[in-house]
Amino acid sequence: MISEMKHGITVSELETEITVILVSYKRPDNIKLIVDALMKQTIKPTIFLWNNNSEIQMKDKRIKWIVNSNQNVGAYGRFHLVPTVGTEYVMTFDDDVGIAPDKNDFIEQAINLVKEHPTGIIGAFGKRIVPGVYPYNGAEIRTDYADIVKAKFMCMRTEILKNVPLGTPGGVREDDIYISYYAANGKKNAHFISWALRESTIVLPEGDCGNDKNPKHMNSRNDFINLLIKKSGELK
């Protein structure tokens, strides 16, 4: 349990010090599973949702703010809610091959790790960018530093996203690579992947949609990293 005191109460007693931003397209049931898990947390988050499916009007009284977009702008759209976040920390989950907390102290664990690694993103899945034509094809990170935090889950100090040029909603397909690259502020191994966090989650149903179903998915991620490096340089 986090025991830091603020105005005579522990952090775990605070109503919110973290905002969780969710994104949905064709898996509203997965969003419900994530929100159910968040409501059980010892640290209660503020929850925002960006819904890309114009055919479904998402409603949930537990979610403070829902954007029902009239078009699918992709997962990157959720980061356009970041400037409205008033909390010290921000966390994201994805309904696309996503995960949900399986332990009630998951948010506490994540915040503790962010405090240990305050200049980067904390994740449960990630990779390092490797030299060559296929920079995304490196090994999966277990518990170690990384260059890319996968979109399944991210947690960070809200402030570090000031390094990320947000641009136009839907203008970025590989949003997790984009956010990881610019949040690193030019440094390699800026982020941290925790196997303990991964073991504190459950895997959500995949369904029959998602970027991973595209046979060119890996090529797209490699091409995107090469484009970023060409534009802004190698991480050092």
pLDDT digits (tens, 9 = 90+) for 11-53: 444 457 999 999 999 899 999 999 999 999 999 999 999 999 9
- Tokens 């503020």 — which residue? 46
Per CATH, the homologous superfamily of domain 5-230 is Spore Coat Polysaccharide Biosynthesis Protein SpsA; Chain A (3.90.550.10)
**Distance, CA of 185 to CA of 182 (rounded, Å):** 5
Q: pTM of the prediction?
A: 0.89
- The SS3 call for residue 25 is coil
Q: Give the pLDDT confidence score for residue 29 in this predicted structure.
A: 92
Model confidence at 107: pLDDT above 90: yes
Q: Give the pLDDT confidence score for residue 3 in this predicted structure.
A: 35
Q: Which candidate, 20, 30, 97, places its Cα nearest to that of 66? A: 20
| 126-153 average pLDDT score | 96
User: Confidence class of residue 8 from pLDDT cuts 50, 70 and 90?
Assistant: very low
| 188-197 average pLDDT score | 98
Model confidence at 9: pLDDT above 50: no
Residues in the chain: 236
Q: Give the pLDDT confidence score for residue 2 in this predicted structure.
A: 34
Please give the mean pLDDT across all residues of the chain.
89
**Distance, CA of 199 to CA of 193 (rounded, Å):** 12
Helices first, then strands: H and E counts in the chain: 5, 14
| 101-113 average pLDDT score | 97
User: Confidence class of residue 88 from pLDDT cuts 50, 70 and 90?
Assistant: very high
Q: Give the pLDDT confidence score for residue 77 in this predicted structure.
A: 86
Lowest mean pLDDT among 9-18, 31-40, 161-170, 226-235: 9-18
